Amino acid sequence: VAFSCMCVVCVCCVSVHPCACGVCRSQAVTLEVRAGDSTCIKAELSASFSIPYNTSSSTRTAQFSLPDSATADTGSSSCGTDSSSPWLVAVFGPGHALGLSFSTNGSLYNVANLTLQYNLSDTSVFPGADSSDVVTVVSSSVGIWATVNTTYRCESPTTFRVGGSTVTFSGARLEAYMPQNELSPTESVCMADQASTTAPPTTASTTTTPAPAPTPPGTPERGTYSVNNRNGTVCLLARMGLQLNVSYFSLSQNKTVQELVNLSPNETSVSGSCEASSASLVLTQEQITTLNLTFTLNSTSNKYRLSAITLLANWSDMRGPFQASNTSLDYLRSTLGRSYMCNAEQTLAVVPTFSLNTFRVQVQPFEVTTNQFATAEECQIDQTQMLIPIIVGAALAGLVLIVLIAYLIGRKRSHAGYQTSEWTLYFQT
């Protein structure tokens, strides 16, 4: 199998720099998006790609890296306007591109979409490809978040699935919505890097009074949320109560704690987007907590599911912004043209440090008409709970019937014995 890089070709795992056993490695590339004399987006990162493609006889995987010759495309990159998002588009080679679009809620910014474009006619990267198409794939909710006016830093390799391909960033430092031309010295560190650090020890002379355990918040209020498409009509509709279950390092307690936090509909702003095969609902509470739910549609089976959940929290007792994301989920599955409903409480596991508790959920991310939910498909838990009283009722009815039959049989035998005694007495007299 041939593995190719932008600069050289690695064949049968022969190590030729910068490829080593089919894995391409690159130096960090610096990219900037400017408006006049001001820089609005700056990124310093290494990126590698793994892209499957077809030949006339087999399927191969091209593995290559972002070369240091990559540049920010001035035609596609933009600082954004009131009606459009900022974009950083790195172009390299004959028709290849890597794009990052950004969004913000005023206190946090994130990579809203990660786009990869590759040109199958480039034989140095895709030798023997049976197509010459230029392919574009997009992924949303990739989990890159940071506080505004800080630099996102993640030295650890982090892989994102984009369509059937993967993009791996490492040694990443980037910032959008920049107030000055250089990256901020204040950093928002990714969870992978935070996991490799330990909490500072307390000295023997320090006396710390343990903080009291927080009171559980109870059942969250049920809120109604909707997302409009470009023509202003509702394209996603949801009604549910949401509770965050987060484990993080507490500065006040100097240890890892687990906290339950309810999302309050009255304190939550709503945004999102709708596409042909994906839809996202973004809930932001008090500009310190952002929850992104992404739904995807399988056009072959006409089934949709909650495929990605991303949380960014920047609470006062946290050591740094908390980030958690999983883009390979399979929750809240239903059929196109119907809504999903589940009255029972559910726990949606996302990552070991974060899960989402849902209460009385009804959601429809596609084909919403007249701003109302379509006929609901109920979750298995609700169907099971509905069957339990029916089964119990049937069992009780059967028990009552058995008792009644036993009573009637007993009464009949008693009556027959009484009549026999009367006839015996008559003949004796």
46 neighbors 171 (Cβ within 8 angstroms) = yes
- Predicted confidence at residue 321, as pLDDT, reads 78
Note the pLDDT of residue 77. Answer: 94
Whether residue 21 is predicted with pLDDT greater than 60 in this model: the reply is no
Query: How would residue 207 be classed by pLDDT, with cut points 50, 70 and 90?
Result: very low
- Provide the token pair at 29: 């590339």
Q: Say what the pLDDT of residue 209 is.
A: 46
Q: What is the pLDDT of residue 143?
A: 74
Tell me the range of 190-194, 232-236, 318-322, 411-415 where mean pLDDT is highest. 232-236
Q: What is the pLDDT of residue 418?
A: 56
pLDDT at 201: 42
User: What is the DSSP code (8-state) at residue 200?
Assistant: P
d(CA 297, CA 307): 9
DSSP state of 429: -
pLDDT recorded at residue 1: 31
DSSP 15: -
**Residue pLDDT, tens place only, 347-366:** 999 988 999 999 999 999 99
* pLDDT at site 42: 95
Express each pLDDT in 289-301 by its tens digit.
889 899 999 989 9
375 burial type by CB count under 10 A (0-12 exposed, 13-18 middle, 19+ buried): exposed
**pTM greater than 0.75 (yes/no):** no
Q: What is the pLDDT of residues 104-152, one digit of tens each?
A: 877 778 888 899 999 999 999 999 999 999 999 988 767 788 888 889 9
Q: Count Cβ atoms below 10 Å from residue 22 Cβ, excluding itself.
A: 19
CATH hierarchy code of domain 29-192: 2.40.160.110
- Beta-ladder partners of 114: 100, 139
pLDDT-based confidence at residue 67 (cuts at 50, 70, 90):
very high
Residues forming CATH 2.40.160.110 domain(s) in the chain: 29-192, 223-381
Asked if 43 contacts 173 with a C-beta cutoff of 8 angstroms, the reply is yes
Higher-confidence residue: 10 or 231?
A: 231
CATH 3.40.50.300 fits 223-381, yes or no: no
Higher-pLDDT residue of 326 and 425 is: 326
- The residues, ordered by sequence, that sit 6+ positions from 1 with a Cβ below 8 Å of its Cβ are 12, 22, 60, 61
Binned at pLDDT 50, 70 and 90, residue 428 comes out as low
Give residue 368's pLDDT.
93
Whether 429 shows a pLDDT value over 90: the answer reads no
Mean pLDDT of 201-216: 46
- pLDDT in the model for residue 112: 86
Q: What is the pLDDT of residues 172-184, one digit of tens each?
A: 999 999 999 999 9
Query: By C-alpha distance, which of 119, 388, 358, 116 is closest to 219?
Result: 358
pLDDT mean across residues, the chain: 82
Considering 23-27, 55-59, 100-104, 324-328, the range whose residues carry the highest mean pLDDT is 55-59
> Which residue would you say has higher pLDDT here, 194 or 118?
118
The per-residue pLDDT for 399 is 80
Q: What is the pLDDT at residue 295? A: 93
Measured from the Cβ of residue 187, the count of other Cβ atoms closer than 10 Å reads 19
The SS3 assignment for 133 reads coil
In sequence order, what are the beta bridge partners of 16? 19
Long-range contacts of the stretch 88-93 (C-beta < 8 A, 24+) = 88/31, 88/33, 88/41, 88/43, 88/176, 89/115, 90/29, 90/31, 90/66, 92/6, 92/66, 92/67, 93/6, 93/67, 93/119, 93/122, 93/124, 93/125
Confidence bin at 215 (pLDDT 50/70/90): low
> 216 falls in which pLDDT band (50, 70, 90)?
low
- In contact, 280 and 294? CB cutoff 8 Å: yes
Q: What is the pLDDT of residue 52?
A: 95
For the cut 70, the answer to whether the pLDDT of residue 239 exceeds it is yes
CA-based radius of gyration for the chain? 31
Stretch (H or E) spanning 138: strand 134-140
